[in-house]
Structure 1
Amino acid sequence: MENHSQTLHIGGSPWKGFLLTAFIFRSWIQPTAAQRDFVSIVPNPPYGTVGSNITLDIQGSSEQPPSYTWYRSPVDPFNQIAFYHVANGEQTIAESRLKVFSNGSLLIPDLTLSDTDDYSVEFYNSTSSLIVRAQGHLAVYGPLSKPTIISSNMAPVENKDTVSLTCQSETQDVTYLAWFKNQSSPARDRTVLSPDNRTLIITKVTSEDKGPYECEIWNPISRNRSDPFTLDFAYGPDTPMIVPIDPNYPAGATLELSCSAGSNPPAQYTWLFNGVQMISTPQLSIPNVSLNHTGTYTCIASNSVTGLSSRKDVNITISETVSSSLSGGAMAGIVIGVLAGVALTGALIYFLFFRKTGRVSKQHLSEKNSSPPKHGKDTILYENTLFPKGSTVSTQGLSSSPAFPEIPSESPYQALDRTHVDVYDKINPWKIRQIQGRGESP
């Protein structure tokens, strides 16, 4: 057997002759469809894993054929991998690791992913004198590498474009199990999945479709999920916002305005003044403004990808500046003037009030002195008269009256009826007596 293997690897003529003989034999006796339906190849276990062993068993055959020939698909003499002769147990194999058992089963040890393929076996049925062919598939699985998500459009336009997201894996024979958006299944209103779940189609993308997205793959021995993928779509620009919002500026100040708008890719900005283009920057700065800068300032935001633009107007008013700064001396003069005015006003009010009060008191005293005495009653006159010291004025009639004792010159009674006395009532007592001697009213 070792000699046959070495002959196969060095391409010797005996192996070539055997292949030619087998090919002629197959051409002479063709397998039938009915016979193929009853015989099959079954992997044991059902699938292989990298590094393990697997046996391809023949099921459905009740006879012991004289030989077995194994192929990797498609069936062709050049794809033959093993031949086993039942009578002497000799076998010819293409790889040293392969082995054919007496019942025709094929052992494949140390599996690799490249062993995944379709396998066929042919043998001669002496009862029917026909060649029987059976076919089966071998799947070998290994740990899955992380899949990746590929987008059909790296910059789709919002509310316009359709995007296809495809889950790609380097491993064959995988199942694309599921798609996730923000850790949950994507909404079905504008999304469609391909039959194998490999591709997610989103129609007319919007800001809600940004993601992130993940796809998960699976095979019988492992599963793995992709890194999050965020859909980068073009949108905007939104209506610009201009700051600051103060529309009034004094002459000589610096006018500074800033414009911004939501957009992807970032918007381009242009400033207009009363409809005339000024600059193409997000910020506008005009130092030392004058009255001529009063008017309408317009910010225009545009997006070259979406082909859209938006604008915002702001009316700015420039006013003259009135100086309100005064020197310290001027401020002190103003304060002193105000205080002097307050004092003068108070003095005037005081003078007018007491002058009026004095006139009323004098009038009241005059009316009291000129009133005639009542009939049948004694008239008593109380005078607030002060006599000078050493005066010989007679006090007759007062000193002899028991009801009116002599009152000293400095008596407190001299202040009688002081509440009605005014400075104008302090008349010289000598003059009062002269008036009374003539019979005139004082």
Structure 2
Amino acid sequence: MVAGLGFVALSFLLLAAHALRGGDSGLCVFLLGSALLAFSRERWAGNVCGVLLGCGALLWLDKGTGLISLRIFTGGDWVRLAVIIGALFALTVFSAAYCFSPSGRERYNRSTENANYRSVIFLLSALLLETARAKVSFPILLADRFFPGWGRAEIFLLAFYGSWVGSKMFTPEGTPKIRSRIWAFFSVVFFGQLVLGLTGLDQFLMTGKLHLPIPALIVAGPVYRGSGFFMPVLFTVSVLLVGPAWCSYLCYIGAWDDYCSRRGNKKPAKDFNPRLVWVRLLLLIVVAGIAWKMRVIGISPVVAVWAAAQFGLISVVVMLVFSREMGMMVHCSTFCPMGIVSNLLGKLSPWRLKIANTCCKCMKCTNTCRYGALKPENIKAGRPGISCTLCGDCIPSCKGGSLGYKLPLLSPDISRKVFLTVVISLHTLFLGVARI
């Protein structure tokens, strides 16, 4: 067992040395972090190390064949190089196999219940962040902006953070305790970067071109400008992946409404009229119409920004007054135009929240829903109302297990874990790349 761990650590160190020799400091740190991860006893860490070493073996194979071909082409000695590369490849493959072998499973034997999901969160988060880093034409990660070439070091930290969040949220009571905290953390990071950018630290801004951080501008901005469809595309893709959970996990403003609704520990108002959620559709039409009219008649950007700012101020007032007073997310469920887009477009995603026919109508879930989606008529119908954002806060309140996520062909428990795996990975991605 000790020898196997030594081979795993040595494999990572050799890969880190190769990365450092190639001038990739960030990848070197990522691999050194992975070497430290190998000394953990948790099963998810063993899974991650095994997969990463499998990728490392492919790296040796790719680099080795290229170098050997070059030696053969130039007439140089390639046999010794082939032996060295072959040894490195064999060592890395053996180390990867050890992580999944009976001996490896004996070593990595802690926290096995949700280990596979935590492993996927780490790997998926790293893959999404690496893809964003590779595809965007400018440094998208803060580490690359302040320390060029160190982006993969940040990717390791963010992926580790994502796995840690998973360990907290996979527990039965985890979602209502942790979701609002990581959501608030994302909002603080998002707006903190905006504040630092406004003080003159341009590295904290996406491109240096400012726009108001108001969700309604995801639609109104491109309508007014006639261009700049990055945010609508990102919003649409996110909603197709996780449904209306964009509103309860990924929206930078929604965390404010969540905080206001929880002030004073008030239970959600029972006299909330579910029909009010459709006011957002009218507001969406009005906002888009005004933006289009401003473009047609040639309203200056200064006036357009001023008008958008007024809408943003009204949003804040709604949160501070109505959400706080009613113990509900009034802004998100009745005022935000993008909320209704998320709810309707989310119908195209596979995720659903279902109420089984075993429901005893105790109404405890109603007291936890701050979106007004679990009224008596919704429970009778067996599904939440249109304002549901799949936040999951209501699920632990159902002691009979009649309320849960539903994905085709999967049980509610597995559906919930798959859903959390995807949404936590997206949260990690947004934490790393989302900024003004």
TM band (smaller chain): under 0.3
TM, length-normalised to structure 1: 0.20
Which of the two has higher C-alpha Rg?
A: 1
Q: Which protein is richer in strand relative to its size?
A: 1
TM, length-normalised to structure 2: 0.21
Q: Which protein is richer in helix relative to its size?
A: 2
Task: State the structure with bigger RCO (CA 8 A, min sep 6), 1 or 2.
Answer: 2
